[in-house]
Structures are given as structure tokens and as C-alpha cells.
Structure 1
Amino acid sequence: MTASYSYTPYIWPMLASALFFALLGIYSYRHRAVPCALSFTAMMIFPTFWSIGAALMLSANDLPTQIFWFKFLNLFKIPTATAELCFVLQYCGLGRFLTRRNLILLSIPILLSTIFILTDNTFHLIWTDLQYNGRIDPVHTNVTNLLFVYFFCLFLVEIFVLVRFFIRSPQQRWPVGLILLVFIISHAVFITDYFHVNPFQPMDPVILFWNAGAAIYALAIFVFRIFDPIPLARAVAVRQMQDGMLVVDSEHIIVYSNPAAEKILSGHSMHLKGKDFTTVVDIFQKARDHPGDPTAVTTEISLGDEPDIREVSLRISSIMDDNNQALGSLVLLHDVTDEKLSQAQLIEQQQVLATLRERERLAGELHDNAGQLLGYVNLQAQAIRKLVHDGENEKAEAQLSRLASAAQEAHTDLRESISNLKVGSLEAWSFLGTLQQHLASYQNIYAINTELVIPGGLDINALKPGTSVQLYRVIQEALTNARKHGQAHLIRITFEHQDNRIRIVITDDGVGFDHTQVKSDTAKHYGMEFMTARIQQIGGSMQIASQPGSGTQVVLDAPYE
């Protein structure tokens, strides 16, 4: 029998639906790199064939041709429902459930329904009869009813997943809401049509609604960009980032928190969404005082109780609209507990290392001063004893005089070493005051003139305490070397500031020295090692320029922070 067709205006809504779905399917296929795009393509292609079959059924003139196209369009109902489920799972971030085993299980109902429809003329497993009342009304079998129950179960799973995603992802609510709307109405229309309730006969009511559904899908795709990987990547990054993130509205109510924020604040406040953020830390008054300033508020808070206290760094910035009106605040939380512990351990290690270096320096000084002096005293005492025994009192007196001078020099060195060790409390530390006091004492004790040159506008007390203490120690050692080895009469200390660095030039008019002879002079060797270690510890450097007979210049360079 030759099939014949005639024009009817009822085919246009069917063909329009086919065209819209085909275009959406092509567009989504071109974005198939996005996880849910391929399943959306299938979700569009199956209804396309469904709609084409409905249009050809309406234009067919004879009943056998209509029955053929009726069976044809029914081939795509279960595949459409299955594609919808795959799309929903992938779009809502549950694609991990679409394993190969589960996909095989989902394909079984599709295969069975296809076989049952193609063999229905022989076995009548789908329809016992196909009646014609202006349109074909099938009489369903138990197998058909079972497939309908399966279809309805897929629909319930889809709705549950979409509602869950709608609740848990505020930033995706508009596109999810649109997809939910299409699913609910289209499935409700399908269910009523299944029970032969169709006010739009002879047209398929599901396909009629699909024309509106296609427009809604287009809105979700082109306006809310569900296939754009950038928003998806941004959402994934926010969920996976190690730092916590809170979005707080203008009333200080938390409207969003990522998993890291939930973890950081879990011991302090469960179920963050809907909570008043000021119950965590009351610093929003500062944020209101600096609207639009992304660095307005940066602070640290302590969460929890001993011994599980967590140190958290908070950075709060305002969220502004195009009219510069504050919509709320963005709060970034960074757990700095481990960093602070590591920093404390590093500081402790540095302090231990500094102590060991100081002990090594003192050992060198004791060896050079006290050790040599005691050896000298021992030799002189034995010599004086022999002179007294031999009755050479004048020579013994001369030796005693030299012994007293040596003891006086040793006493002076010991006092200087003790003075150099006295820095005072770091809490009350003043680099300028301490240095001026030391220079005055140095000049008074040793009768060596000193000059301190600090340009206007340079506040050397602004240096970090650790930096200023180390610089002070190096300057002390330079002064000691100028007195003991340089035989200086004038020492000038000049401070300079350039490009976040501080430069200290220590110049004396002493006898100078030869660099090649330093290692052979144990005292100078220990002193220079001490100075180099000190300046390197604060990220600085030291240069020494000297020639015999032309004095010495020590240049220190350190960060000015």
C-alpha cells in the first residue's frame, strides 16, 4: 500500500517543536566538552524525531500510515525520559552515578520497549488494540503500564535531584528553576495524555507544550549560560578552594558558604546559611565605614577552646552594584593556625641559632681577651716571683706595673662585652635612644669622638625590633674593632634611606688593615664572622673597605620595613 499525505495546519506546531529541538541539540553538541551537553543533545534529538513522527501522523490520509507513525514516535518516549535523567544527574553534579553498569541498566528498558513496539503486530505486548476516534487511542497492556510506572519513577528522581540542587546552589537557582518548570509541566501533560485526556486533539499535547519548553531551554542556555564552562569552573573552584568563603547580605545574614568555610567554622557555628555573621565576629561596623574598599577590613580571630583553638584570618570586602550601592560583603577565611605554629617554630629556631652564634662570639672574645690575659698573667707572675726571689725589686715593680695595665685593659674589655650584651626589653626598644646612649658611653670611656648623622625624615625607630637589634649589635662590634684594632680617634655613623632599604656607613680614621691578614688575626676573624652572620640573618649585606694607614669603612645594607 502506498502512503498518502495531505496538508493540515496541525503539523506546524509539531514541526516547529522539531526545528527548535534540533537547533538546541546542534548547539549543545557543539559544546559537548561540558559534561552535561551530550546528554542534553540526546534529550533534544529524541523529541525531534518524536515531533516529526507526530507531524507525519497528522498529515497521513490512511489509518495504516497513521499507525506506522504512531509506533514510530512511541519509540522515542522511553529514550527521551532516560536522556532527561542523564542530563539532570550530570547538570547537578551527580554524573559519578552514570557508571558503565548503570548506563547498561538504563538501556535495558529502552531496548525492551523498542522490541515490544516493533513486534506489537505479532505479540501485542504494548497495545491490545489501536482505536481511531479522530486520533489513535491505544488500549494499554500491563507491560505498557509497567513502562509508564518506570517513566514516572524516572520523573520523580529527576524532580528530587533538581529540587535538591535548587536548594543547595543559590547561584544556579534561576536556570534550575526554569528546567524544573519545563519538566513538571511536560510530564504532567504526558501523564494526562496517557489517560486519554487531551483538549488539543488531534495534536499531541506534549509536543505543543514543548514549543514553550524550547524557549525556556533557550533562556537557560543563552541567558544563564548553563553550557558556559567559566561559571561552572568558577563554581567548582569556589567549592574546592582551601580558603573559606562567605557571602553576607546587607543585614549581615550569611546567604552562602563554601565547604571550606563550613569546615573552618564547624566548631563555632553549624548550618551557617541564615545565621547572623556578627555572632562570629563583630567587625562589620568597620566594613561599613569603608564601603567599596576591598582591603578595608583584615583581621584575625580565634575560634574554639583550649587546646583546639584555631587562628583564622578574615578579609572582608564590600559587594557593590553598578550604582556603587552596597549589596553585602564577601568574607574570605584563611586558617593560619599551622602557619603560626610553623612561624613560632622558625622564630624559636632562629633564637636558638642566634644564641649559639652569640656563644661562639663570646668564646672567641674570651679566648682572645681573657684566655690570653690569664696566660700572660701566669707568665708575668712567675717572672715577678723569680725577680723578687733574686732581689731584683725594681724589675719586679716594672713587671707589676705592666701586669696592672694588662688587668686594667682586660677589665675595660670585660665591661664593654657586658655592656654590649645589654639591649633591654624588646617591648620598650628604641634603636635611636639605645644607640645614642651607647655612643655617649663609648666616647666618655674611651675618649674617642663619635658622630651620628641621620637625615631629616628618616625614622630609624620604624625598623622592626629584630632588625634594629641586629644592626645595633653589628654597629657595636664595628665600634669595638675601631677601638681595639684600628686605634681610631673619630668614628662617624651615617644613616641613609633609599628604595625601602636602609644604608649605614661606619667610618673611622684609624690605622686600617689588610684584608689578606684578617684570617691570621683570630680576634678580627671572629668579629667579622659575627658581623656577617648578624646582617645576613635580617636579609642584609655588609661590605668592608680598608687599607693600612687609611682607616676603615663598614657599609651595612638592610631592609627598611
Structure 2
Amino acid sequence: MHYQYNPYIWPLIVSACASMSLGIFALLRRRDVKGAKSFMRSMFVVTIWSAGNTLEMASLDFSTKLFWANMQYFAYCYSPVTLLALCMEFTGYDRWVKNKKVLWFAVLPTIIILLVWTDPLHGLIRYDMHMDYSGSFPVIAKKYGPLFFIHALYSHFLNIFAWILLVRAVFFKSTVYRKQAAALLLGISLIIIPNILYISGRSPVQRFDLTPVFFGPAGLIVAWAIFRYKLFDVVPVARATVIETMNAGVMVLDLRNRVLDTNPAFAEMVGMSASAASTRQVEEVCKKIPELLYICTEKNVAPSEFSGSVNGHSKVYEAWLSPLTDNRGVLIGRLVVAYDITEKKLAQQEYLKQQWKLAVTEERERLARDLHDNLGQVLGFINFQAEGIRQELLNAEVEIAATELGKLVEVTQAAHNEIRKYIRQARNAESIDENFVAALSKDISGFEKQTGLRVKLNIPFGFTGEGLKPQVRINVLNIVKEALNNVRKHAGAGKVKVSFALAREQLCVAVEDDGKGFDIQKPVKDMRNKFGLNIMRERALEIGAQLEIKSIEGKGSRIALCVPVSEGESGNAGESDAGR
């Protein structure tokens, strides 16, 4: 290899040193800045162009010039790709760079490079190459093959595409980054315009490609835009400080249910890192939490709750699904936000537990008051009157009647004492811990022991009744208990069934038997039975429920209660039933 000093090489040397220095600076000092890696690659690629052009210009023999000319094709082919990636990171197409889809743009340039180094075999890029000594310094004269023009058109297409992206960002988008985009546009234009002038033969300096001379100044302008304005660092600031650190989980989906982004809280929730979840289908990311997957994939889903496990701890979340639209209002994706409401649910459970205790206490107080005001007073009056009559009979020396009345007084006093004892116990609400299903099962078990009948109980799978309002729970239990009492006293049944169902924000309860029934159109002769039915109607009215009584003589009876409940009150019921 033979070289000769040429004064034209100095602008190229300065440009190569500048672009190399900027690339090293980005590599060593600013790798954490978004866009710095693409900038670094661009600077190293254009350095190959400037340095190769310098050595080609200083070479004397044909083989040396051809070698460095071929080396420059690495820059000719790959610099448009690196510049496009740099512009994409700023103009909203950074996921192409992140997902490495931009590498598809490098397929044709790679093929061109292979053809360049094998030119003597086919001449598809260049042919008829020889030395031309007619100018100030010798150059390689050549003719271009058909694939060279494909390469030239493709490279300029990428350059113009990148340039258009920046023009749109500067002139057609309302953004606070307009100054930075303008600086980047100026830097890219210093590379694209001279190259177009040289290829078209309109360069002011003939036989000399000015494009590499502008790599240094263009690199300085772009570097200033990135590191002084922090061009690519401004965009994620709000996201890093708000979304990345917030406790709520955030996931962005596109219209094909692919995960575009997640924050650390959501990644922890689904047990998959943000990088691993990116570009995967939501079915794969959320497969461990079916309830969350349903929320993400179904349309028009209202805010819903789901449970999950994080670091071995059970958590309850509330998820919201929101549409994402562009500035023209066109739907482009969806946003899923999941809030941790575990503490809220625990507080609600504690509140409902206290409300339940209060409701039970009030019910017992009311029962004790009724017993005291009614039955207790009656027994007290009977006891007082019987004692008076007995004393008068003793005074009249009627011994037999006095003895019998004495027994009646003893029984009445014992009953009165028992009633007062029960009232005291009813007012003691220190241990009220039975839940809805346990209390229901206890009532049914008592019925079974008294009658010898087995009750078939149908409850929706997962239904606990814990979400019901305390007054609803108390009155539903008492209505079921009163209905069973009526079956025990009057029905003469062989089969009894108690069913619960949830439908259209209603809790429906039915007590059915196959006993002798009665004609609901006729007046009820047994006042106790009529009193029991009236009690059930009053309790249903208290909770805004509808009570329906159906009975046919000889074919049994059915008492159905439908009480309105909200979605949160319905518990965790599924669709299948669990019977016993």
C-alpha cells in the first residue's frame, strides 16, 4: 500500500476525529441517556466513511484505493439505517428500535456489501474500474451496475424517511420538544443534502464527495441536541418519576392485545419482568391470573376486583380499563390500571363484622324487649293474679283448689324466671362470631334434629353472604328460620329444600316442602300460622324485598324471597351450585 500527502484530506481527518470522539463520549459517559446508543452507532459508522475516504484519497495504487472504497460501503449502506433508528427513537417509533424490528432495514444493505466485495465476479455494483489521473489527485473511474441504483434509491429512501419524521415533529406536531427536534433536523440535513448533491452531480466540488466533511459538524449539532437539551431524556422523565414509582400496576395494550409496556408494580403483580412481558400477548402475560385476563380481553368490562399473590402474600386488586386514542380520537390501544385494595377490603370486612354484631345485638335487644313487654308482662300478671286467688281460697279454707293454684303459681314463676334469664342472656352480645352460612347451617341442623327430616341446601359455589348488609343477613336468616318453623308445625312434609340463587343483582331464597299445603285464598284459621306469615312479610318489607307465598292443598308450599343486592354485596359466588 502506497500513500501520498494530499491537502484535501484535512477536512476529512477533522470530521473523522470529531465523529469518533462523539461516539466514544456517548459510549463512555452517556450510555444511560435514551437515544445515546443509536447516536453512538451512527458516529462510529460515519467515522468509517470519513476515515475510509481519507485513506482512499491519499492512496496511490489501484488496489489500495479499491480496498478503502469497499470499506466505505459499510458506511454507505448502514449509516441510513442508524440515522433512521436515531430519528425513530425521538418521533414515537422507539418500540421499533427496542424490539429490534429496525434491523429488517439492514437486510438489503448487508446483501449490497457482500456484492461490493465480490464485484470482480459479477459487476452488479461496479464494473470497468480503472485509475483516473486527470484531476488534482488520482481517483477510481467506474461504471455502475444495476444493483448500485437499487442501493442508492434504498439508501436515499431511508434518509428521506428519517428526514420526514423530523419535519413532522418540528412543523406538524404541537410538542414542547420542537427546539430539540429542529436541532436534530439541522444535523441530519447536513448529512443528507450534500450526499444528494454529490450523487446527482450537482456538488460544488467536482470529483470530491463533501458528505464526510459534514459528519463532524452534524455530529456536534446532534450531540448538543441530545446531551445539552437532553432530547431523548426529557420524554421519559414524567414516566420514570410517576408511573415507575407508583404503587398501582399499569399495562399498555395495543389493539391486538399485545403488551407494549408495564411498570414495575404490574410486573411484580404478574410475576414477569417488564422486558420479558414486552410484545407478548396478554394471554401469556396474565395466564396466572384468569380474572385479570378476563378484564383485559373482554370489551366493556366495568371496574372489577381480582386477587393474586405477591411475594407469598395474598392481595386484592381493583382493575380499570381505559381506551387510548391518538390526537384525532382514533382508538390505538388500551390502558389497564390495577390498584391494591387489600387494606381497603380488610377494613370493609372489619366494618361489616362490626355491623353484623350491631345488627345481631339490635335483633336480640328487640326480641328481649318484645319478650319483656309482652310475654314477661303476661306471665307476671298471671303469677300475681293466681297468687291473689290462692290466698283468697286459703282464707276461705278451700284447700284443694288452693293446692292446684299453688302448682300453677310455681310453674308460672318458673316460666317467668326462665323468660327473665333468657332476656339477660339475649342482651349479652359478647360472642357473635357466626358467619352467614354457619348461622344458616345451625338453623337447618336444629330443624333436622327436631323433625328427623333432611333438608337439601343449594348455595351458589363460593357464596358466603359476608358481603350482604347486616340487616339483610339477619332478616334473611330469620325468614328462612320462620319458614322452617311453619314446615315443622303445620306441613307434615317428607322433603324440604332451601335454595339460594344470584341473578340480576338480586339474591333469591326459596324454602319448599312437599307437605299438605293450604289454600292461600282462604282465611287462615290457625292464628299462629297467620302470625308467622305476617312476621315474614314484615321482615321482607324492612329490607325492601319481595315475598311470594305459593301453596296448593296436598301438594306442598313454596316461600320465595327476592332481595336487591349490589355487585359488591353478592359475595364471591360462581355459576355452579353446591348442594348437600
Q: Return the TM-score normalized by structure 2.
A: 0.45
Q: Return the TM-score normalized by structure 1.
A: 0.46
Q: Which has the higher contact order (CA 8 A, sep 6+)?
A: 2
